[in-house]
A and B are shown apart, each in its own frame.
Chain A
Amino acid sequence: MGANVLEKAAEKKYRVVGQSVPRRDGMGHVTGTTKFVGDVHYPGMLHLKMVRSPVPHAKINGIDFSEAEKVPGFVRVLTHRDVPKNIYTILCLIGVGPDDEPVLAVDKVRYQGEPIAAILAETEEAALEAVAKVKLDLEELPAVFDVEEALKPGAPIVADTGVNYFIYEGHHCRRVRYGDVEAGFAQADFIVEETYNTKPIEHAPTETTGCVAKPEADGRVTVHTNTQALYFSLDNTALILQVPFQKLHFVGGTVGGGFGGKVDVITEPITTLAAMKTGRPVKFIYSRAEEMQVSSPRSAWRLKYKDGVMKDGRIVARQITSYADAGAYNRHTPYAVTKHAANVAGPYTIPNVHIDAHCVFTNHTPGSAFRGFGVTMASFAIELQMDKIAATVGLDPWTIRFINAYRNGDVRPHRKVAEDVTFIETMQAAAKLAGHELPEHLLAMNSWDRNGGQHD
């Protein structure tokens, strides 16, 4: 069957699919003529800058704008009182809840850099000067930064739900249960355990996140944005501002690097509100510092593996407890943890699997989507764990992976039947490229037929 697929692939005759035609916008990008959101200017356009929390967890006792208002060019300030539906969560569009994140802080801040008030001014400089003159009366609260500390009784509570974890249909984590993991451990010759830790990572797009909102003569608002998902941004903005969807017109299309960071909907709602309140075009684009410390990073993860392994290298049981540091709010992390749970056991066929994947709230900057959503750090942990297993049972890193490789028709821990699988063929090709000679029995294996090769 494997061979048939190869033949089919070789027979296909396409005219343009499969051809390296030059990308159409490439020359514009490298010569600096492509128009990005930052290049959008309108006469009379205002600039928006955020007053942000200098501390990771605090009660807001008061805000004094009096000195800021005196800055020449100051136009107005927006606070949570101006935002019609201030508390939201991005994925409400696909049924994820509850709403948890304020557009502008109400009585508390939960991470360093959280937006408290938006300043509108005639120039960017005036907006920044006014922001610097806002006086915040904050009462610091104990903060929690470690995912396991956050789950202990008595930990400072970050979320308004009263628990520092996202609730999955009544459960404190996303569960996967397949086979009997305890029976697998009892049967195993070796138990291999390890904990893997990662830190938050920045998307580092060339173009920082931002938008320009312009009120139109017909009462609608046009929003130029570098979002990765125009309708996600439009729908969330309409819900937050409580305006009919048809009053908004979102324009985008060319983005200077996304990597998941621009799936959040952070700049559009407040900028659109500012345009509606002032009747003037408004621009809000993150500085590099905001992009690095305030916009969502790749969440930090902690992953604990416990594997039961036979002397011949077969993994017979795998138990994983993982924690995603969501930071202070949901954003996309609850969803990432679900995708993570389906993939964290790896591309290996294991008869007994037990996964508890936690989405944990801490006083970190909220994490969100990032290229490889919930999977990148799972792959990191899995592939280090495979090397540790290989060393434990005395096999080389290639053999341990071939022995346990998933194949077409195998049932995965989340009970999806594997299809389109070419894991073995991919490893064979990489070994050949790297000049690593695989033994005959591994070269004879394929992803369609378990009778080929050693492990059946």
Chain B
Amino acid sequence: MGVNMTKVRGQGMAAINYPTGMNLGGDPSQALIHASTTGNFIISLSSTDLGQGLKTVIAQIGAETLGVPFDTVIIDTADTDTGPHCMGTFASRATHRVGNAVMMAANEAKKALLDVAADELEASPDDLELDGNGSIVVKGVPDRSISVIDTALAAHFKHGKTIAGRGIYMKPKSKVDPLTGEMDPDSTEAHACTVAEVEVDTETGEVKVLSLKSAYEVGQQVNPALVEGQIVGGALMGIGHALYETTNPYYPAIDHGPLNFSDYLMPGPAELPEMESVVLEFPSSNGPYGVKGVGEMTANCPIPAIVNAINNALGVRITTLPVTPEVVLRALEEKAAQA
């Protein structure tokens, strides 16, 4: 028997929805914005960045709404003495909730900015627009303009006015009907579909994920590179959940619990499959610029796609996680016993 005779391949798919922006408890978030005399706008929050890039995407949303350069929007977070209330960064809610609050605050600040610019330019605020490069121009008359920093200086030193805005986003708390389960627990639905290819060694029980090809529909992307980061990172988490990870290997027994990363196996570079994804953008009805959110969902589709691919490869029906070599070999033994 040749070495490769023990390796079989299979394909599996899975498709999921993910409800983003949980709101059973109401879960509001606030944002404050003010223009400083440096020409910057400071967005004050108490929201945390978990490494997913929240501070960057919130600055993008603020800059878009204000109509000012991205580099001039500063995020000041997270401090309970300076930042207004945020429920927190969880439930795929931050870009959706905090983004909406920032848009509201930015619109108020923009109105204050344009009012001062209108005085300086002797024009109506309705005739002004931000050019995205740091200037406020009279529509159709490009040489009648004033910079954002000059407007901020004029507001403070000449007009005695503030340029600031307040924003909040809250979807009212959803009560759950205890008899029927009627509830409105989320804000919008994102979607994913993954096709997985695996190779299983029937001699050792080891599974190798060869490829993951996925489509994600996450509403408007604020930052496609950060969305891709979530998709790739989530796929690795999915591989780990599908094949390796648990804190109780003999669950429900509690013995042999891993205490470090040599005992707690996670996928590393050697386990990285070929990965390809497409992102669809169907705007949500209630997110900032049509955002839905992609934070939590990216492990959810690879997990069942990988296990379906294993079952397809072996002609078995494994129904537990993680699918360790022991699980694979026991399933093959059971299949042989039934034959």
Residues of A within 8 A of B (CB): 5-6, 8-9, 12, 14-26, 29, 56, 91, 93-95, 112, 145-147, 168-171, 174-178, 194-202, 204, 206, 227-232, 234, 248-260, 262-263, 288-289, 292-293, 297, 300, 325, 335, 338-339, 341-343, 346-347, 355, 362, 364-365, 369, 371-373, 375-377, 379-380, 382-384, 386-388, 397-398, 401, 406, 413-416, 418-423, 425-427, 429-431, 433-434, 436
> Are B14 and A9 touching (Cβ within 8 A)?
no
Which of B117-125, B291-299, B329-337 lies at the interface? B291-299
Which of A15, A231, A293, A343 touches B46 (beta carbons < 8 Å)? A231
**Nearest opposing residue in chain B for A223, CB measure:** B80
* Contact present for A297 and B320 (CB under 8 Å): no
| Contact partners of B283 in chain A: CB under 8 A | 5, 8-9, 12
- Contact assessment for A371 and B320 in the assembled complex, using a CB-CB cutoff below 8 Å: no
User: Could you say which of B35-43, B151-159, B163-171, B240-248 contacts chain A?
Assistant: B240-248
Q: Is the CB of B64 within 8 A of A342?
A: no
Of chain A, the residue at the smallest CB distance from B263 is A292
Given contacts A196-B320, A231-B85, A430-B214, contact A362 B252 (CB under 8 A): yes
Given contacts A230-B48, A416-B184, A434-B195, contact A384 B89 (CB under 8 A): no
Q: Which listed residue, B49, B260, B296, touches A288 by the CB 8 Å rule?
A: B260
Nearest to B86 among chain A residues (CB) is A231
Contact A25 B55 (CB under 8 A): yes
Which A residues are CB-close (under 8 A) to B132? 15-16
27 pairs from A and B in contact (CB 8 Å cutoff)? A8-B283, A12-B289, A17-B220, A23-B53, A95-B25, A147-B252, A169-B176, A175-B180, A197-B321, A199-B251, A204-B245, A228-B48, A228-B88, A249-B79, A289-B260, A338-B176, A347-B17, A371-B296, A375-B296, A379-B301, A379-B304, A383-B305, A384-B304, A422-B280, A423-B17, A425-B191, A434-B213
- Is B145 an interface position by the 8 A CB rule? no
Contact: A383 with B304, CB < 8 Å? yes
Given contacts A379-B14, A425-B217, is CB(A341)–CB(B181) below 8 Å? yes
B15 & A401 in contact (Cβ 8 Å cutoff): yes
| Partner of A257 from B51, B183, B186, B280 at Cβ < 8 Å | B51
Q: Say whether A176 contacts B180, CB under 8 Å.
A: yes
Residues of A within 8 A of B61 (CB): 17
B-side contacts of A415, CB under 8 Å: 180-183
Q: Considering only CB atoms and an 8 Å cut-off, how many residues of chain B contact the other chain? A: 121
- In B287-335, the 8 Å CB interface with A consists of 289-290, 292, 295-297, 299-301, 303-305, 307-308, 311, 317, 319-322
- The 4 A-B residue pairs whose C-beta atoms are closest, nearest first, are A229-B88, A176-B181, A383-B304, A94-B25
- Chain A's closest residue to B212 (CB) is A434
Besides A17-B60, A383-B301, A429-B217, 17 new A-B residue pairs in contact (Cβ under 8 A), listed by A number: A9-B283, A29-B51, A95-B25, A168-B178, A175-B178, A249-B79, A259-B237, A292-B260, A347-B15, A347-B16, A347-B189, A379-B304, A380-B304, A384-B319, A414-B183, A425-B217, A426-B191
B307 touches A380 (CB 8 A): yes
Closest to A111 in B: B254
Q: Which of chain B's residues have a CB closer than 8 A to the CB of A429?
A: 193, 215, 217, 278, 280
Chain B residues numbered 44-73 whose CB sits less than 8 Å from any CB in chain A: 46, 48-51, 53, 55-56, 59-61, 63-64, 67, 70
Q: Flag whether B172 is at the interface (Cβ < 8 A).
A: no
Which residues from A are CB-within-8-Å of B281? Answer: 9
Give chain A residues whose Cβ lies under 8 Å from the Cβ of B51: 29, 206, 254-258
Contacts of B247 in A (CB 8 A): 199-202, 292-293, 297, 365
A348 to chain B, nearest CB (A): 9
B253 and A145 within 8 A (CB): yes
Q: A253 contacts B78, CB within 8 Å?
A: yes
**A257: B residues at CB distance < 8 A:** 50-51
| A5-B283, A300-B251, A379-B304 known; A398+B13 contact, CB < 8 A | yes
Tell me, in angstroms, the Cα distance from A289 to B258 when the chains sit together.
8
Chain B residue numbers with a CB within 8 Å of A5 are: 282-283
- CB pair B225 A177 closer than 8 Å: no
Tell me if A388 and B189 are in contact (CB < 8 A).
Answer: no
User: Contact: B24 with A338, CB < 8 Å?
Assistant: yes
A-contact bits for B1-37, CB 8 A (1 contact / 0 none): 0000000000011111111001011100000000000
Q: How far is the CA of A373 from the CA of B25 in the complex (A)?
A: 15
Q: Which residue of B lies closest to A226 (CB)?
A: B48
**Of the residues B16, B26, B178, B221, contact of A170 by C-beta under 8 Å:** B178
Cβ of A427 and Cβ of B257 under 8 Å apart? no
Q: Is the CB of A197 within 8 A of B319?
A: yes
Give chain B's interface residues, CB within 8 Å of chain A. Answer: 12-19, 22, 24-26, 46, 48-51, 53, 55-56, 59-61, 63-64, 67, 70, 75, 77-81, 83, 85-91, 132, 173, 176, 178-186, 188-189, 191-195, 213-217, 219-226, 234, 237, 241, 245-249, 251-254, 257-261, 264, 266, 276-278, 280-285, 289-290, 292, 295-297, 299-301, 303-305, 307-308, 311, 317, 319-322
B245 touches A201 (CB 8 A): yes
Complex: how many Å from CA A312 to CA B5?
A: 38
Do B224 and A20 have beta carbons less than 8 Å apart? yes
Known: A175-B178, A342-B181. A94 touches B24 (CB 8 A): yes
Residue of B nearest to A56 (CB): B254
Kindly provide the distance from the CB of A397 to the nearest chain B CB, expressed in whole angstroms. Answer: 5
Flag if A18 contacts B224 (CB, 8 Å): yes
With A388-B317, A415-B180 in contact, is A24–B55 under 8 Å at CB? yes
Is there contact, CB below 8 Å, between B305 and A420?
Answer: no
In the docked arrangement, what's the CA distance between A200 and B289, Å? Answer: 37
Kindly state the separation between the CA atoms of A63 and B33 in the bound complex, as whole angstroms: 53
Task: Looking at the assembled complex, report how far the CB atom of B326 sits from the nearest CB atom of chain A, in whole angstroms.
Answer: 13
Contact partner of B49 (CB less than 8 A), chosen from A25, A262, A387, is A25
Q: How far is the CA of A387 from the CA of B290 in the complex (A)?
A: 33
Residues of chain B within 8 A (CB-CB) of A8 are 283
Neighbour of B48 across the interface among A178, A255, A430, CB < 8 A: A255
Shortest Cβ distance from residue B177 to the other chain A in the assembled complex, whole angstroms: 8
Is A371 in contact with B295, judged by CB distance below 8 angstroms?
A: yes
- Name which residue of chain A comes closest to B280, CB basis: A429
B50 near A228 with CB under 8 A, answer yes
Q: Closest chain A residue to B132 by CB distance? A: A15
**Are B180 and A230 in contact, with the CB atoms below 8 A?**
no
For the complex, what is the distance from the CA of A415 to the CA of B225, rounded to whole Å? 36
Could you tell me if A145 and B15 are in contact, using CB atoms closer than 8 angstroms?
no
